[in-house]
Structure 1
Amino acid sequence: MADIFISYSRQDRARVTPLVAALEAEGWSVWWDPEISPGEEFDSLISRELDGAKTLIVVWTPKSVDSRWVRGEARDAADRGVLFPVRFDNARLPIDFRAVHTTDLDDWAEDPQSAAFRSLCKALEVKLGAPARPVAAQEKDSRVTVCVLPFANMSGDPEQEYFSDGITEDIITDLGKVSALSIVSRNMAFSFKGATGGVGEIGRQTKASHVLVGSVRKAGERVRITAQLIDATNDAQVWGERYDRDLKDIFALQDEISKAIVAALKLTLLPEEQHALEQRSTSNPEAYKLYLMARQFWLLDNERNNEIVIRICKHVVELDPDYAQAWATMALAQWNLFTHKDLPIDDVQHPARRALALGPNLADAHAAVAAAHRSAGNFVDGLAAAHRAIELDPGSYVANRMAGLCCMGMREYDEAIRYFEIAADLMESDFTAAMFVVQSYMAKNDRARAKDAAAKAMTRIEKIVAAEPGHSRAIGMGVYALSVLGRRERAVEWATRARLIDPDNSNLHYNLACAMCSLDEHDRALTILEGVAEKASQGMLSWIEADSDLDPIRSDPRFDAMTARARERLMQKVEG
């Protein structure tokens, strides 16, 4: 079956033809039939191709928006989380698709290198992986594909892993700025962390012609980085170097490595690419080192880490007040706290505004703004900010997760599922977005797909809990996953364990209430939730009032009474 199914109006065939050609030149297989309007009838051929396609691109135009067949195909794809809409002539989208991120192609001018088309391709790569380029396309496309494997931490201290991972991610980002290179995604590259397979096999799996391997040894204020660029077709070393530098030279060293790789591959940097490689978020090496640590804590996605992240980021911005990434990460951690602690909303909004002012083209800054809007219950503006973040970086985990949360807040569950699935694919260790997929299917009353999603999420959760038995967020969501799977006894066992590990964690208790709803234990759910509501912050109360997981108990008088008491308590606090 094809990678991409194109849904369009036959009247638009002339403008769809070059789009199909450009997608096929990228290396994807495309199904469309210029002789059959995709909506003439759902015969066996169209139905089979539609069901089998990995993604569907709907081409919205003033003509196609009026086609009930095109809308039907788009809705089917949205239900499966595989919809990628594009638009021409600023077409007014059908009302049920206006919350969906749509790529405008009015300015693409049939140019495969245009910003709009490249953005579409990046989004498709997140869902489909790098395309398997046919020989003809390889001859036409001169880009070299490189997979940057996670640099090994040779510091003798496992806690320094954040530094070697951060160096790797920055090199991936830097090389991604070079138009002559195609870089394997961070998530795919990190899936090979610690793998024992050969470079040739990694190259085959990632479709990379070259693989960069290396190590980092940090001792005090000195750092040693070794790097080798290997030809994946024959295991030959193309380039290699060892660098011993002071930590203060880390930024110049990263520039040097990226430029050396470009030179070894006999490529030429464009002037703007040379400039982009030399641009750094900070020039302060201590701020940089601490930011990498904060980001590692944030990615662990444990409530206990939020205050750690905030403390580190506050120190980082004292060292460098203009460090946009640190402000953005601080805002995201504050948002996590805001949902279950009594904090002023400005604790989220201020660092988000600061991040955006300093980094208007930084995806994380727009994601932070989306979090701030969501904190205020402004889901529409939150989704718009998340869309902008995805335009800047389709591979942003946090942007896709935030888009899903905003869609969930608007009860646009099909779109929420699409974004959450992308987020989960982008971060192999993620379990939160994976569990929001479960919740969204439950809200749609699609228990079969909810169970499938819960089984996948539980696999991730069990790995997290095995490595960190006190990870209360993972345990709490595990209880919910087990309840959806119908594993009542184990869900109760995990719930007991969770209360013992972290008895004062309101977010944990909230997740337990959701699990009890799933098990139809409505009285127990209400009892647990009453305890949460007694101390609920404004952020937590907003979540309680909107969460579809609580719909089974929403009509109970106890629910109305507890939320009314919480609102009154918070109002009295505001009034003095």
Structure 2
Amino acid sequence: MSGDDNPSLAPPRLFISYSRTDLDRARPVIDLLEQGGFDVWWDGRLEGGENFLQTTENALETCACVVVLWSATSVNSHWVRDEAQRGRERECLVPLTIDGTFAPLGFRQFQLLDISGWDGKPDSAEAARILVAVRAKAGEASPPAAPVQRRPDPVLPAPTVQQTGGLALSRRTLMIGGAGVVGGAGLLGAWQFGLLGSPASAAMSMVVLPFANETGDPEKKYFSDGLSRELRSVLARNPRLKVAAPASSSVEGEDDFALGRKLGVAHVLRGSVQRDMASVRVGAELVAVEDGEVLWSDSFDRALENPFAVQSEIAETVALELVAQIASDTEAKQSLAAQREIGGTQSVAAYEAFLRGFALYELSAGDETDRAALVQFDSATAADPNYAAAHAMRSTMLAAIANNVSSDQSETRRLFDEAVAAAERAVAIEKRLARGHLALGFALNNGRLDRTAATPHYRAAEELAPGDADVLRAVASFHAYGADQALAVKMIAKVLELDPLNARAFRSAGYIALFARDYPKVIADMERALALNPSLASAQFAVAIARLMEGDAAAALKAAEAETGEAYALTAAAIAKHRLGDAAGADAAMARLSEAFDDSHYQQAEVLAQRGATAEALTRLEAAYAARDPGMLWTHNDPLLDPLRGEARFKDLLIRLGS
């Protein structure tokens, strides 16, 4: 039986819609698709005597996808618009622009692939993108033909300009944009959930730069920043991609390629976003760091009611562009079949509130911005009660505020209870949301000192976001509080690889080294953290502890005096001065610590333990445990408490902590 006799073996049929005046531009597309193994229907196949309308309608209704060639002529063709409309209704439309003309109104919610610069050669990057787009829509794996090779072209093409509604946009300057939190689309979901087997040993590396805000309104920077962050989060879930973390990706004062080289990545994804009250226009380009070759670029127009699909489209295309170099076409087809949505929303109001809240969260200027962020996440969950990512961030802010409520234990417990409930809601809505599990683990561990209950959620976060440096940093710190120091050290090394310009990452690495008793590394990591951010709180405190453990009390006191966090500074100074024989100075520091920080039971226990006041130190620790002081998380591995480890009361505390 032939392939024509058996529909399951026949190649997918494509319908080409174009204006007859564009035939010379259409023929290379038709030829490419035919060479790619498709059965291409176009009006040149009509034979004399055929019923034109009936034949065309039959082809349009039975095709796998409708490929529309938009041009200055075809946008005014009623035939082309009708055919495109049917492709849209059947959800099988693949729009191409052959001269840079935008699709007409009604069709701008679809990604428009610009092939206006294509020379018609089948071995070009544009040809490869046409085939990828059509195969994805037609659900067809690549045929067993020789793969298309990308033509080396170190010279960047001159920018092309698209105009619509009085706006002129350069394809080189209108770069990346668009998105939502509907992450995990297509091949990204497949890689995340193991459909492709183990990742290649050499991952493709990239940095996603912050979007440029080209809205004309500086206050809308939260929107462009949020879009790039969400896109980065989606790409980071792909174990075949090494994606630089947000903090390192946002370093100012470096040009794009210099930053890429500093981060040790091979590719830069960069861009900008424009928007008005009704629509959003975004674009993207993927550039090789080594020679500046533009590997892929495109622009997108969306109604503001539906900007979310752009993130998935960009993420899929970029991942295909990179991962095709290390994965087969069959794997790509398998991954496209696994499209998933993770923790997102389809509400613009909820999404914008989420982005505003996240901008305030990242600002992290104290209790005021934390509470302002909470208001935004409250608004997001009110607008969409099933917005899992917003519930997770709401939990994160409640826990942050709880940590800052120093004197009212009942208020602290209430806030942590709300944080647990919000995180449980996030996980109930979407069990695959890494940040939901992370928020729940944090609230249980820090708010209730329940390490046993928190452990499975930290493990889930690690498994669900193996390439997210922020998630891995939190999980590594959690492991460092327990018995698995080797795992914590291994994980933080990966974090530093992904986030080498983040002061907080080095601070976390320094504390992990402290709990592992690697004091030279503590000092080295904290010095690196302070070089990146001289005002970073608690970094000098760790240096002071390391110096104390090395027996250099004078150097410890110097570090204590440089510490910006007063409670940390007083704790280290009280111990260092006692070691140096300055009893009055040590007592004064201890008195100030007790006076200024009435909830500093744990820090007071550290000082008393180092002074040899064992019974009193244990009493302070028990008071800290009763208050559910998060400082108790240090108890298992804190070197300052080593003098207490043989005591029965101390061992009982460790049992209660689940350590």
TM-score of the two chains, using structure 2 as the length reference: 0.52
The alpha-carbon distance between structure 1 residues 381 and 337, as it changes in their structure 2 partners (threshold 3 A), is same
Distance between the aligned counterparts of 2:198 and 2:574, measured in 1? 40
Distance between the aligned counterparts of 2:594 and 2:287, measured in 1? 59
Matched ranges for 1:259-338 at <5 A: 270=333, 273=336, 276=339, 281-304=344-367, 305-338=369-402
Contact 1:458 1:481 in 2 (8 A): no
- Per the TM alignment, residue 182 of structure 1 is displaced from its structure 2 partner at its CA by 4.0
Does residue 250 in structure 1 map to residue 307 in structure 2?
Answer: yes
- Per the TM alignment, residue 346 of structure 1 is displaced from its structure 2 partner at its CA by 0.7
Matched ranges for 1:44-443 at <5 A: 130=202, 148-156=208-216, 159-174=219-234, 182=241, 184-186=243-245, 190=249, 195-196=254-255, 198=257, 205-208=264-267, 211-219=268-276, 222-230=279-287, 235-258=292-315, 270=333, 273=336, 276=339, 281-304=344-367, 305-341=369-405, 342=409, 343-344=412-413, 345-375=416-446, 376-410=448-482, 412-428=484-500, 430-443=502-515
**Residue 355 of structure 1 aligns to a residue in which SS?**
helix
- Per the TM alignment, residue 234 of structure 1 is displaced from its structure 2 partner at its CA by 6.0
Contact 1:287 1:320 in 2 (8 A): yes
Contact 1:187 1:426 in 2 (8 A): no
Does residue 511 in structure 1 map to residue 583 in structure 2?
Answer: no
**Residue 533 of structure 2 aligns to a residue in which SS?**
helix
Letter in 1 for 2:572: A
Distance between the aligned counterparts of 1:549 and 1:421, measured in 2? 31
- Gap runs ≥5 in structure 2: 1-190, 548-553, 579-585, 630-659
Distance between the aligned counterparts of 1:221 and 1:358, measured in 2? 30
- Per the TM alignment, residue 306 of structure 1 is displaced from its structure 2 partner at its CA by 2.5
Contact 1:483 1:519 in 2 (8 A): no
Letter in 2 for 1:317: T
Distance between the aligned counterparts of 2:445 and 2:366, measured in 1? 18
Match of 1:58 in 2: none
Contact 2:274 2:282 in 1 (8 A): yes
- Per the TM alignment, residue 327 of structure 1 is displaced from its structure 2 partner at its CA by 1.2
- Per the TM alignment, residue 552 of structure 1 is displaced from its structure 2 partner at its CA by 2.5
Letter in 2 for 1:206: V
The alpha-carbon distance between structure 1 residues 524 and 452, as it changes in their structure 2 partners (threshold 3 A), is farther
The alpha-carbon distance between structure 1 residues 456 and 249, as it changes in their structure 2 partners (threshold 3 A), is same
Distance between the aligned counterparts of 2:487 and 2:263, measured in 1? 33
Does residue 555 in structure 1 map to residue 555 in structure 2?
Answer: no
**Residue 334 of structure 1 aligns to a residue in which SS?**
helix
- Gap runs ≥5 in structure 1: 1-112, 132-143, 466-473, 499-507, 572-576
**Residue 361 of structure 1 aligns to a residue in which SS?**
coil
Match of 1:81 in 2: none
- Per the TM alignment, residue 158 of structure 1 is displaced from its structure 2 partner at its CA by 5.1
Question: How many residues end up aligned between the 2 structures?
Answer: 411
Letter in 1 for 2:374: I
Contact 2:557 2:573 in 1 (8 A): no
The alpha-carbon distance between structure 1 residues 264 and 441, as it changes in their structure 2 partners (threshold 3 A), is closer
Match of 2:53 in 1: none
Distance between the aligned counterparts of 2:472 and 2:545, measured in 1? 26
Contact 1:152 1:216 in 2 (8 A): yes
Letter in 1 for 2:360: F
- Per the TM alignment, residue 320 of structure 1 is displaced from its structure 2 partner at its CA by 1.1
- Per the TM alignment, residue 153 of structure 1 is displaced from its structure 2 partner at its CA by 2.6
Match of 2:521 in 1: 449
The alpha-carbon distance between structure 1 residues 510 and 420, as it changes in their structure 2 partners (threshold 3 A), is farther
The alpha-carbon distance between structure 1 residues 437 and 271, as it changes in their structure 2 partners (threshold 3 A), is closer
Distance between the aligned counterparts of 1:570 and 1:451, measured in 2? 30
Distance between the aligned counterparts of 2:485 and 2:628, measured in 1? 30
- Per the TM alignment, residue 565 of structure 1 is displaced from its structure 2 partner at its CA by 6.7
**TM-align CA RMSD:** 4.4
- Per the TM alignment, residue 367 of structure 1 is displaced from its structure 2 partner at its CA by 0.8
Distance between the aligned counterparts of 2:470 and 2:236, measured in 1? 19
- Per the TM alignment, residue 330 of structure 1 is displaced from its structure 2 partner at its CA by 1.8
Q: Deviations over 1:377-403 (max 9, x none)?
A: 122332332122111111233433333
Q: Deviations over 1:88-143 (max 9, x none)?
A: xxxxxxxxxxxxxxxxxxxxxxxxx9967989759xx8xxxx55xxxxxxxxxxxx
Distance between the aligned counterparts of 1:172 and 1:443, measured in 2? 31
Contact 1:229 1:261 in 2 (8 A): yes
Q: Deviations over 1:25-61 (max 9, x none)?
A: xxxxxxxxxxxxxxxxxxxxxxxxxxxxxxxxxxxxx
**Residue 374 of structure 1 aligns to a residue in which SS?**
helix
Letter in 2 for 1:447: Y
**Residue 321 of structure 1 aligns to a residue in which SS?**
coil
Contact 2:544 2:559 in 1 (8 A): yes
**Residue 248 of structure 1 aligns to a residue in which SS?**
coil
Q: Deviations over 1:480-532 (max 9, x none)?
A: 5478576678756655xx5xxxxxxxxx4433334325635553553243135
Distance between the aligned counterparts of 1:403 and 1:289, measured in 2? 28
Structure (1/2) with the larger helix percentage: 1
Matched ranges for 1:489-568 at <5 A: 491=559, 494=562, 508-516=565-573, 519-520=576-577, 522-531=586-595, 534=598, 536=599, 551-552=609-610, 555=613, 559=617
- Per the TM alignment, residue 156 of structure 1 is displaced from its structure 2 partner at its CA by 4.7
TM-score of the two chains, using structure 1 as the length reference: 0.58
Distance between the aligned counterparts of 2:262 and 2:625, measured in 1? 57
Letter in 1 for 2:610: P
**Residue 466 of structure 2 aligns to a residue in which SS?**
coil
Contact 1:514 1:550 in 2 (8 A): no
Letter in 1 for 2:223: F
Distance between the aligned counterparts of 1:167 and 1:420, measured in 2? 27
Letter in 1 for 2:482: M
Contact 1:153 1:215 in 2 (8 A): yes
- Which has the higher mean CA deviation after the structures are superposed, 282-291 or 263-272? 263-272
